[in-house]
A and B are shown apart, each in its own frame.
Chain A
C-alpha cells in the first residue's frame, strides 16, 4: 500500500491540483477510491488486451520461444515470419482466406445495396403500403422457421455446397434496415424537398442527398455486415461439405480449436514441424482473422455511438 504513505504529503503541501475537466462542485477522489478504480480498470484492460496480444505475438514466434514458454508467448522473444511463410505455402489457409474475402466483399456489397434501398423505400412519410411492407419485415424478427426448414429450403434452391449459401440466407438483416431507415427519416428533409422541387426523382434523391448525408450510419452498418460475413461459421458448417470452400472460421474451428492436423502441415508433410510449432501455425490463422477487424474498427469507432444508439435500442 504505497499509496497510503503518499497521502499525508499531499495534505501538508498545497491542496492537490484539481483534474482539468472536474466540475467545481465535485469532491476530489479519495486515495482509496483512486487506487481501487485504477486497479479495476487496469485489470479490465488486461483481460481484453493480453489474450489478443499473446495470440499475435505467438504467431510471430519461433518454435524455440514457443517451446520455452510452454504455450502462448506473452513476452516477445525471437520474432520471425517463418510461421506465415509455412502457412501460406500449405494452400488450406490461402484457400480459406480467398473464400472469406469473397464472402465478405460480395456479401457486404449485396447486403448494403439491398438494405439501403429497402430502408429508403420505407423511409418517406406516408408512402404507398408502407405499414404492410414494414410489418412483413418486422415479422421475421419475431418468428422464424427454424434451422431445419431453412436448411431444406436452401438445399431445394440448389445452394447446398455453393459459396452463395454463406451469403444469401443471411443477406438481409431487418434490424440493420430499421436502423438505417430511422436515420434516413431524419436526414435533411429541407434538402430533399428542395431537390424534389428541382425535379430529382427518388433514385436521384437517395444517391445524391440521402446517402451522402448518412455516411456515419452507413459506415457502421457496412462494418456490422462485413464482420458478420468475415466470421461466418454456422452457414459454412451447414452447407459446405467441401473443405475447399471453408471460410477462415471453419479452418480455425477444425485445425485450431479441435486440434486436427492441417493438410500439408503435419509432421510428415512438406516443411513439417521441424522449424515451426503447431501452436505457432494455429495462432497465425487466428491472427489473420483478427487483423482486419483490429485495423478497421478505429475508422468506424467514432460513429458507433451515433450509428447504433439512435436506432439500435429503440428499433
Chain B
C-alpha cells in the first residue's frame, strides 16, 4: 500500500490517475489556489455526495482490512477480534508448511497459464474475423449473441455445461446411442483446467470481442487504403497495419490478465469442487474460504472453522496479487501503455 501512496502523492504525477479531462486541464494557467477553508465551503455539497459510498467502503472494505489482524491471532469467536490471543506468524508458518496449500498454489498457476494460452487469443481471432463482415447489422447481431453469456452467473454457465457435457448431458446421450461409452467431462479432474477455461471462454469471449472490435474500429481506414494502393494484399495489410494497431490494447489486456493471474474463477472452483474433487479444484481463492469457514455449503459452521488460518491464506494471496498488479502496471508503463491506472 505504501508504494501506491507514494506514487500517487508525487505532485508531478498526481494529475494522471483519473479521467481524460485532467490532461486537457493542464494547458490553461492554473487559477491561484484558494484557501482550503474557502474550497471546503464551496465544495461541501460535493464532499457530502461521496459520503454514502465512503461509509459503505469503510464498513465492507476498510474494516475487513483492519480485520486482517485475525491472521496473526488465534481467533476465538467468543473472545472477538480484539481479545483473541496474538500468535504472530504462527498461522503463516502452518500455511507454508501445508502441502495442500502449495497444491492449491500450483493449481492456480497452472489454470492461469492454460487460460492465458487458450483463452486469450480467441477473442482477438474472433474480432479479426467479425471485423471483416461488412454488414453492420450482422456484426451487431454476432456481438449481441456472443456477449450474452457475460451476464449469466457462473452457476448458470456451469449448469448449462453440465446439461450438455455432464453424465446425463446431451453429449453422453448421443455417445451412448451410438454405442460409445460415456465420457463425463464435468467430473474428470485431469481435464478440469480445460473445462474451466472453456467455461470462461464461453462466458467472457463476448467482452473481449467488443473490446478488440472497438480497437479495430479505431484504426484509420486511410492506412488500409493507401497500403492497398501500394499493392499490399490482405495478409500484408493485416500484418503491417492491423497488428500494430492492436498492439496497445493487446499489451493492456495481457497486463491486466497478468495482474489477475492469481484470481482464476472463484465461483467456478467453488461450485465444481465436489464434482471434480479438491485435488483439481482447490485454488488460492477458494483455499481461504474452504479451510477458513469450513466449506459447509450453505451453512457456514462456526464450530470447527479456522478463521485465523483462512485469513492468513487470504492475506497471503492478497499481498501476492497486489505485487502482481503493481508489477504488471509497471510493465505496461514500460511498454509505453496505460495500465489499470496512468502513470
- Give the chain B neighbours of A25 by CB distance below 8 A: 224-225, 228-229
**Separation of A274 and B59 alpha carbons in the complex (Å):** 51
Set B8, B25, B64, B164: member contacting A146, Cβ < 8 A: B64
Q: Is the beta-carbon distance between A117 and B266 smaller than 8 angstroms?
A: no
Residue A96 CB within 8 A of the other chain:
no
Q: How would residues 138 to 170 of chain B score, 1 for a CB under 8 Å from any chain A CB and 0 otherwise?
A: 001010111111011111101110111000111
**Minimum CB–CB distance for B94 against chain A, Å:** 15
Residue B48 CB within 8 A of the other chain:
yes
Q: Is the beta-carbon distance between A147 and B293 smaller than 8 angstroms?
A: yes
Q: Can you name the residue of chain A whose Cβ is closest to the Cβ of B177?
A: A70
Q: Is the beta-carbon distance between B342 and A314 smaller than 8 angstroms?
A: yes
Q: Is the beta-carbon distance between A143 and B318 smaller than 8 angstroms?
A: yes
Residue A75 CB within 8 A of the other chain:
no
Q: How would residues 105 to 137 of chain A score, 1 for a CB under 8 Å from any chain B CB and 0 otherwise?
A: 000000001110110111111011101011111
**Separation of A127 and B297 alpha carbons in the complex (Å):** 47
Q: Is the beta-carbon distance between B164 and A154 smaller than 8 angstroms?
A: no
Q: Is the beta-carbon distance between B152 and A231 smaller than 8 angstroms?
A: yes
Residue tally, chain B, CB below 8 Å to A:
116
**Separation of A115 and B50 alpha carbons in the complex (Å):** 8
Q: Can you name the residue of chain A whose Cβ is closest to the Cβ of B218?
A: A309
**Separation of A233 and B140 alpha carbons in the complex (Å):** 31
Q: Can you name the residue of chain B whose Cβ is closest to the Cβ of A74?
A: B170
Q: Is the beta-carbon distance between B22 and A125 smaller than 8 angstroms?
A: yes
Residue A19 CB within 8 A of the other chain:
yes
Q: Is the beta-carbon distance between B65 and A51 smaller than 8 angstroms?
A: no
**Separation of A71 and B136 alpha carbons in the complex (Å):** 37
Q: Can you name the residue of chain B whose Cβ is closest to the Cβ of A182?
A: B19
**Separation of A250 and B299 alpha carbons in the complex (Å):** 12
Q: Is the beta-carbon distance between A118 and B49 smaller than 8 angstroms?
A: yes
Interface stretch (choices A1-9, A41-49, A84-92): A41-49
Q: Is the beta-carbon distance between A118 and B53 smaller than 8 angstroms?
A: yes
Q: Is the beta-carbon distance between B288 and A148 smaller than 8 angstroms?
A: yes
Main secondary structure of the interface of B (DSSP, over half): helix
Residue A79 CB within 8 A of the other chain:
no
Residue A270 CB within 8 A of the other chain:
no
**Separation of A115 and B148 alpha carbons in the complex (Å):** 25
Set A146, A182, A257, A310: member contacting B162, Cβ < 8 A: A257
Q: How would residues 136 to 176 of chain A score, 1 for a CB under 8 Å from any chain B CB and 0 otherwise?
A: 11111111111111111110010000000000111110100
**Separation of A232 and B267 alpha carbons in the complex (Å):** 11
Residue B92 CB within 8 A of the other chain:
no
Given A135-B8, A152-B67, A171-B45 contact (CB < 8 Å): no
- Give the chain B neighbours of A223 by CB distance below 8 A: 151
- Give the chain B neighbours of A127 by CB distance below 8 A: 39, 43, 46-47
Q: How would residues 163 to 190 of chain B score, 1 for a CB under 8 Å from any chain A CB and 0 otherwise?
A: 1100011100100010000000000000
Residue A214 CB within 8 A of the other chain:
no
Set B130, B164, B211, B300: member contacting A51, Cβ < 8 A: B164
- Give the chain A neighbours of B25 by CB distance below 8 A: 125
Main secondary structure of the interface of A (DSSP, over half): helix
Residue A208 CB within 8 A of the other chain:
no
Q: Is the beta-carbon distance between B132 and A157 smaller than 8 angstroms?
A: no
Q: Is the beta-carbon distance between B52 and A118 smaller than 8 angstroms?
A: yes
Q: Is the beta-carbon distance between B53 and A128 smaller than 8 angstroms?
A: no
Residue B27 CB within 8 A of the other chain:
no
Q: Is the beta-carbon distance between A294 and B57 smaller than 8 angstroms?
A: no
**Minimum CB–CB distance for A77 against chain B, Å:** 16
- Give the chain B neighbours of A238 by CB distance below 8 A: 293, 300
Q: Is the beta-carbon distance between A143 and B322 smaller than 8 angstroms?
A: yes
- Give the chain A neighbours of B315 by CB distance below 8 A: 146
Residue A185 CB within 8 A of the other chain:
yes
Interface stretch (choices B108-116, B239-247, B306-314): B306-314
**Minimum CB–CB distance for B25 against chain A, Å:** 6
**Minimum CB–CB distance for A255 against chain B, Å:** 10
Q: Is the beta-carbon distance between B298 and A117 smaller than 8 angstroms?
A: no
Q: Is the beta-carbon distance between A233 and B155 smaller than 8 angstroms?
A: yes
Q: Is the beta-carbon distance between A117 and B49 smaller than 8 angstroms?
A: yes
Residue B317 CB within 8 A of the other chain:
yes
Residue B4 CB within 8 A of the other chain:
yes
- Give the chain B neighbours of A55 by CB distance below 8 A: 160, 163
**Minimum CB–CB distance for B311 against chain A, Å:** 4
Q: Which of B163, B225, B310 has the most CB of A within 10 A?
A: B163
Given A146-B317, A252-B159, A186-B148 contact (CB < 8 Å): no
Q: Is the beta-carbon distance between B67 and A26 smaller than 8 angstroms?
A: no
Q: Is the beta-carbon distance between A19 and B149 smaller than 8 angstroms?
A: no
Q: Is the beta-carbon distance between B146 and A313 smaller than 8 angstroms?
A: no
Residue B93 CB within 8 A of the other chain:
no
Contact sample, A vs B, 21 pairs, CB 8 Å cutoff: A26-B234, A27-B234, A51-B160, A54-B170, A72-B164, A114-B56, A123-B19, A127-B39, A127-B43, A128-B47, A139-B4, A143-B1, A145-B66, A148-B311, A151-B307, A153-B63, A182-B19, A249-B153, A297-B144, A304-B210, A305-B214
12 A-B pairs besides A25-B225, A125-B22 with CB distance below 8 A are A23-B225, A48-B148, A125-B25, A146-B314, A151-B307, A153-B64, A170-B60, A172-B56, A239-B300, A286-B156, A305-B210, A311-B19
The 9 closest A-B pairs by CB, nearest first: A146-B314, A231-B153, A145-B64, A149-B67, A121-B49, A118-B53, A182-B19, A128-B43, A149-B64
